Structure 1
Amino acid sequence: MLYWIIALFHLVVMPIAAVHALIYKRDHRAALGWIGVILLFPVAGPLLYFLFGINRLRTKAQVFTGHHLPVMFFGYDRTSPPLLLNPDPLIDTLPNPDLARVGSRATGQPLLPGNQANILINGEAFFPELLRSIEEARHWILLSTYLFGHRGEAREVIDSLIRAKARGVAVYVLADGVGTSYSWRIAIRALRRADVSVALFTPPSLLPPSLDINLRNHRKIAVVDQQVGFFGGINIDDRHMVANPDNRHPTEDVHFRVNGPLVAELTHLFCHDWDLVTGRKPALTELPCPTAGRSVCRLIDDGPHDNLNHLSMTLIGVFTAARERIRIMVPYFLPNHEMVAALQAAVLRGVKVEVILPERSNLRFVDWATRNMLWELLLWDMDVFYKAAPFAHSKLILVDDAYAMTGSANLDARSLRLNFELGVEWFDADLTRQLHAHLDEATARSRRITLAELDQRPLWQRLRDAFFWLFSSYL
């Protein structure tokens, strides 16, 4: 009797799983592989596909962001088409208009003129600016972070937010539900005790059951009174105080202090995320956001919902439009095949490509997986550097002499497909020049790695690196 129940179960679920893989998978090799597993392994095949083959994250993100889907949803693993804008007259005034056209077509987002940006290197530069802005706040403060520590400078931020709340400033803090668990949410409890409005982005829970470690909000945003904004890669955590001799995990990073129309866009993005989590918008007093400089930029909202692949497509297009050089500095580097091909094609056109990675990150298995694919760069004469400690957590991509992509995203599947991320394109020669100088300092403290060095790895290291590389889509 049990045999016939199992056989009937397989005959029912097998065609459903096979049809789903056939019409849903974007990669023909993945579709063929999963259909083979489904057909060849009774019961186990369909169950494995249900557990590991279906991109429930995409569906969950659509439901989370307000889409109503049928129970049997056979959708498409793709982004919604961008809203194409009318040609932006600003594009043709930029040094390389092709770079600006890419983001316009890939995201549908407009260029924002009239901004001023200041580069803040490490916590030593960022936290004093953030604390000063919080102390000067008169109307409202928005703060979004992935990690939220409770020692050192993080404690100062907590106390400053509490003081702002006490003097009548509206304070909204959005923290990631997984990122804050690393510090036992001590900061979150302290803020809530002071009646600060705090929301956690999709925290894991047992009741109702929600154990998904994906759908993370990796954005780092702060806005004060619509006058000043901050974004970049620095969390509210004292690990970014690199010069502190008591810091056991010094982590270098780059943040930006901005004035101008970009601040209003950061406010809009924060309010969107707050609404996703709480179901309501923050109650903010409407304030002006005047122009403040001459920098032109574009904000890119990227996440596993309607904006899936906005950053990835923009970067691939920008690499294709590069004329002279591409410089990449990220802590985690596992780009997809299309992005690697775009870099290889750039080299064939005579573009110089340089990639700066940490010698040792905080995620060793990501380092090992990356080493398994670096030959695809070195074989085509790209320059790859390993930067010595402290751990470089910066996310900077520079193209030619007047383009910079900044923000929170790494070049891996987690950032480009699983997380909610923020990117800001800058079409500013002066800002790009300063960032090139920062990368020059980083390469001066780095060593170049060669294809021969990778080929000389012991067999056990090659096996280890290749094993973790198999999970590149999930690291």
Structure 2
Amino acid sequence: MFEIFSNYWPHVLAVLSVVLGVPAAVHAAMTKQEVRSALGWVGIILLSPVLGAMLYAVAGINRIRRSSIEQQRSQFRDRRPDDLAKYDVSAASVAGQFGQRFAGMKLLGDRVSRHRICSGNTAAMLTGGDRAYAAMLQEIADARRSILLESYIFDRDPIGLRFADALIAAVKRGVQVRVLIDAVGARYSVPSIVGYLTEGGVTVRVFNGNIIMGLRLPYANLRTHRKILVIDGAVGFTGGMNIRAGFTFEFAGETQAHDTHFRVTGPVVADLFQVAAEDWRFTTREMLDGDAWRITPALTDSKPRQPLMLMRAVPSGPDRANESNHKMLMGAFSVARRSIRIMSPYFLPDRELISALVTASLRGVEVDIIVPAVNNLLLVDRAMTSQFDQVLKGGCRIWRADGPFNHSKLMTIDNRWSYVGSSNLDPRSLRLNFEIDLEILDTSFAAAIGETIKEVVRGASPVTLEELQSKPFLKRLVNRIFWLGSPYL
């Protein structure tokens, strides 16, 4: 057998090249929606048919079938409590409060998100892990009926164990608890927190992978990057914060990473619950129904301690909601008149978003983009540095924030419209990950987000074209090579 193979291996290789390469190239050409992605994969397959086809099978195919997700999620479509319909907001109301251009944003959101913009909500900004985790743990301790938690990373460290013990205690007092952790994120700790939770009686699953036998590479690009916590169907938490000790001063001290999370109440909590419950059903086939999972958002009385806000949940991901966040950003950049403030740990927008930002700048809009001076992902940082010149040449400003790594994802337009949540401005968040963001129309909230960003800018250093061009040629070349691979970082 070996002798036959040694004599005819070129023929075998040629046959394999055709058998594997042609179907892979055809699949890439027919299924990829972006021409650059399709060309990239077809080029890889043609240049190395066997190896390229294997690589495409591992990293290039979206194995989460959209029809499968859509079929399951359609069962949730009409589950929003009827008594919340009165909080829905009309385009005329938005136009009256914020102007016709933001009524246009309402219409855009209606068409790209399954969830309606609604009134009667509050959002409290929680800066730093010490404050955010304390608020979340307090709500978990007070839970009486149900807890639904979805997170990208849930570390088995002092903070993770504190959350796990609180969830285990909730189970022991009769609370229904469901925990969903991304398979990639669960591997950040070895051993995983999953075993600890399971031993404590918590019902926990991993999204799209097997963390016991090891990470399943075909699913590495299709992650739930969402961070959602819903307590008793009444109070919700969402934002950019994973569950990690490194985000607290208590355990990390002065080196703690920074992030921003939000505690929300009102009708939008029903939509946050629906998104997380859909992900849970997709993973486990269990419908979260019954009295324990009843949605009863904490609706504020006639004299609220916090101003009521117009708010919408915007889920996105490689399903029916594909690129919802991308479309919302394009719309927001196009309606800006005075200012666009963006804070993101990873800034690798595609050409369309760069053009939208540059066009806004050329219209006279002040565009400020804040990224960390020190990044936790070196390759991503090198890639986005290579792209900065495209933004700076259009008149936008980029700032490097000094100090510890800041993981916050914050955006505000004209001090009226805000967009906060889990989405980064990079290819993974915009096309590959399952994300959850909040669209918020409220001047006070936008002002608070704007002030947070301005405070960071005060201690930041501007990035200039001269600085970028003065770097050694070899370093710029290496950065550019990393930039070429940015869709896969």
Which residue, out of 212, 219, 224, partners 2:226? 219
Give the distance between the partners of 1:32 and 1:387, measured in 2 at CA. 36
1:448: which partner in 2? 462
1:210 CA displacement? 2.7
Map of 1:232 onto structure 2: 239
Deviation at 1:449, TM superposition (A): 1.2
1:85-124 to structure 2, matched below 5 A, reads 88-95=91-98, 96-124=102-130
Alpha-carbon distance in structure 2 between the residues aligned to 1:340 and 1:150: 38
Partner AA of 1:192 in structure 2: T
Question: Does the 8 Å contact 2:116/2:312 carry over to 1?
Answer: yes
State the distance in 2 between where 1:187 and 1:431 align: 35
Query: For the Cα contact (< 8 Å) 2:349–2:427, is it kept in 1?
Result: yes
How far off its partner does 1:38 sit? 5.8
User: Which whole-Å CA distance do the structure 1 matches of 2:186 and 2:45 have between them?
Assistant: 39
2:486 aligned counterpart, secondary structure: coil
Change (3 A) 1:199 1:443: same
Does structure 1 retain, via aligned residues, the 8 Å contact 2:89–2:118? no
Higher helix share: 2
Amino acid paired to 1:190: Y
Partners in 2 of 1:31 and 1:211 — Cα distance? 20
The alpha-carbon deviation at position 29 of structure 1 amounts to 5.8
Aligned position for 1:184: 190
Does 173-182 or 184-193 show the bigger shift?
Answer: 184-193
Moved more, 57-66 or 269-278: 57-66
Q: Say whether residues 1:194 and 2:200 are aligned partners.
A: yes
Match runs of 1:232-381 below 5 Å: 232-241=239-248, 243-244=249-250, 246-247=252-253, 249-285=255-291, 286-292=294-300, 294-381=308-395
1:45 matched to 2:53? The reply is no
1:19, 1:355 → 2: CA distance? 39
User: Helix, strand or coil for the counterpart of 2:224?
Assistant: coil
- Over 3 Å counting, the alpha-carbon distance change for 1:430 and 1:366 in structure 2 is same
1:128-139 → structure 2 map (5 Å cutoff): 128-139=134-145
Residue 307 of structure 1 and its aligned partner are, at CA, apart by 1.1
Q: 1:418 to 1:28 in 2, by over 3 A?
A: closer
**1:77 is matched with which residue?**
none
Q: How far did residue 57 of structure 1 move?
A: 3.8
Residues 70-108 of structure 1: per-residue CA shift (max 9 Å, x gap): xxxxxxxxxxxxxxx997444333413233333223335
- Structure 1 residues 32 and 363 mapped into 2: Cα distance closer, same or farther (>3 Å)? closer
Of stretches 247-256 and 362-371 in structure 1, the one that deviates more from structure 2 is 247-256
Contact 2:183 2:211 in 1 (8 A): no
Stretch of structure 1 that moved more, 1-10 or 254-263: 1-10
- After TM superposition, the structure 1 stretch with the greater mean CA deviation from structure 2, 85-94 or 345-354, is 85-94
1:153-168 residue pairs with structure 2 within 5 A?
A: 153-168=159-174
Distance 1:92 1:182 in 2: 46
* Runs of at least 5 residues in structure 1 that lack an aligned partner in the other structure: 69-84
- Give the % identical residues: 34
Distance 1:64 1:176 in 2: 19
CA RMSD of aligned residues (A): 2.7
After superposition, give the CA deviation of every residue in 1:96-143 in whole Å (9 maximum; x if it has no partner): 323333322333531121101111001122112111111111111111
SS at match of 1:374: helix
Residues 388-443 of structure 1 show CA distances to partners (whole Å, capped at 9, x for unaligned) of 12111000111111110010010001111111100110001111111111111111
Q: Which runs of 5+ in 2 are unaligned?
A: 1-7, 73-87, 301-306
Query: How many matched pairs?
Result: 455
3-state SS of paired residue (1:217): coil
Q: Which amino acid aligns with 2:149?
A: L
Distance across 1 between alignment mates of 2:193 and 2:277? 21
In the superposition, the TM-score normalised over structure 2's length comes to 0.86
Asked if structure 2 preserves the Cα contact closer than 8 Å seen for 1:148 and 1:185, the reply is no
- The partner residue of 2:452 within 406, 424, 438 is 438
Q: C-alpha separation between the residues in 1 aligned to 2:189 and 2:19?
A: 46
